[in-house]
Homo-oligomer: A and B are copies of this chain.
Amino acid sequence: MSERSRVRRLPERGSNDEAVLHAILDAHYLAHIGFVVDGQPFVIPTLFGRSGNKLYLHGSAASRMMRQLESGVAVCVTVTLVDGLVLARSAFHHSMNYRSVVAFGTARKIEGDEAKGQALRIISEHLLAGRWDEVRMPKPQELKATTVLEFTMEEASAKMREGGPHDDEEDYELPVWAGVLPVALKAGEPVPDERLKPGTPLPEYLGKFPH
């Protein structure tokens, strides 16, 4: 493990354990991708899938990010789940409960329709397991218009915080509400497309999002 992914400052909140990393990655679906062009950092949000220590990304073949990443530049992929706001009696001890993974590595372009289809399936299943088998599969020209990347996590670290506030002893007497406001991504009621064929059943997997 090198300096860039060593867990610093608050080691009790960090981990480089693979099972911890994978559990956080599998609990979310949105990644923020960092890359550098001419010294300028870019951070772009995108969906992802995971299989082992590989993350899969996709996008338009015309996208600036895809073209940069496929060239093999250094990439940072960050996934963050906010679990709650931690309200202390003092401004200073306010905090956030969260789980995050910061992963470093490089990406390669997946070539060949079969391999691309398999990687797209991983992304789809990561988001909504069961959906892929129901929908119309990509046509060759759709695959051609899509770049699919495999990002290898060469180094990664997880950070997390949980539990309530930790106030200075003398502040516990203050008449200030303290505790945790839990926060989570929640799905609402599905909104059917206006051209949905009457009688089409609502898929069960929608009720499992977010997992």
Contact = CB atoms under 8 A, between A and B. Distances in A.
Interface of A: 4, 8-9, 30, 32-37, 39-45, 47, 60, 62-64, 74-78, 80, 82, 84-85, 87-92, 94, 96, 98, 100, 102, 104, 120, 124, 127-128, 131-132, 134-139, 142, 146, 164-165, 171-197, 200-203, 206, 209-210
26 contacts: A4-B37, A32-B34, A34-B41, A41-B41, A42-B76, A42-B102, A43-B102, A44-B102, A45-B98, A45-B100, A85-B209, A89-B135, A90-B135, A91-B132, A92-B136, A92-B146, A94-B124, A134-B176, A136-B174, A172-B197, A175-B200, A179-B190, A180-B191, A181-B190, A182-B190, A185-B185
Given A134-B176, A180-B193, 18 more contacts: A9-B60, A32-B32, A32-B43, A34-B41, A40-B76, A40-B104, A45-B98, A91-B120, A164-B191, A164-B193, A164-B194, A178-B196, A179-B190, A181-B190, A182-B187, A182-B188, A183-B186, A184-B185
Given A134-B176, A209-B85, A9 B63 contact: yes
Given A30-B80, A185-B185, A202-B177, A36 B41 contact: yes
Contact of A177 (B36, B44, B172, B200): B200
Given A41-B34, A164-B194, A136 B206 contact: no
Contact of A43 (B43, B189, B193): B43
Contacts of A188: 181-184
Contact of A200 (B82, B100, B176): B176
A76 B43 contact: yes
A176 B136 contact: yes
Contacts of A185: 82, 183-186
Contacts of A146: 92
Given A43-B43, A77-B43, A92-B139, A177 B164 contact: no
Contacts of A173: 197
A34 B43 contact: yes
